[in-house]
């Protein structure tokens, strides 16, 4: 189980065109002041883009995050229901760029927008 699964973040949709994750902001996800930690929302964004990127690659390759730009637009208090939606902007042979939007449910108020760049790497024996 990875750290985001331990926080209760789960996928509700996974495809090459869209990934959707949902979760509730819990105490272990917040800063001292009780709002969602920006680093965690960035990690969730990268996970969503990465899972989508994997749907587009061949066996023997890996999707590796190379760049993450995350803009925190609004504080998110503990107890908030949240959703992350990752969509491909550009899909090339070696690079993919994904746009990730995070919102508070049920209002769908945007609280974070991220851009994730993924490198498609051929796996070698040493990488496993």
Give the whole-angstrom CA distance, residue 80 versus residue 41. Answer: 13
Given the residues 17, 27, 46, 109, the one annotated as active site: 46
Q: Within 10 Å of residue 102's Cβ, how many Cβ atoms?
A: 26
Q: Shortest CA distance to 21 belongs to which of 1, 38, 46?
A: 46
Is-catalytic flag, 46?
yes
Residue 24 β-bridge partners: 81
- Which residues are identified as catalytic? 46
């Amino acid at each position: 189980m990875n750290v985001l699964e331990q926080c209760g973040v789960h996928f509700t949709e996974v495809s090459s065109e869209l990934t959707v994750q949902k979760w509730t902001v819990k105490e272990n996800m917040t800063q001292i002041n009780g709002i969602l930690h920006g680093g965690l929302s960035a990690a969730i964004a990268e996970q969503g883009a990465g899972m989508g990127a994997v749907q587009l690659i061949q066996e023997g390759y890996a999707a590796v995050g190379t760049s993450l730009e995350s803009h925190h637009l609004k504080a998110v208090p503990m107890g908030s229901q949240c959703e992350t939606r990752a969509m491909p902007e550009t899909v090339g042979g070696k690079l993919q760029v994904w746009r990730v939007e995070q919102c508070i449910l049920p209002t769908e108020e945007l609280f974070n927008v991220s851009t994730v760049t993924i490198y498609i790497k051929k796996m070698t024996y040493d990488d496993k």
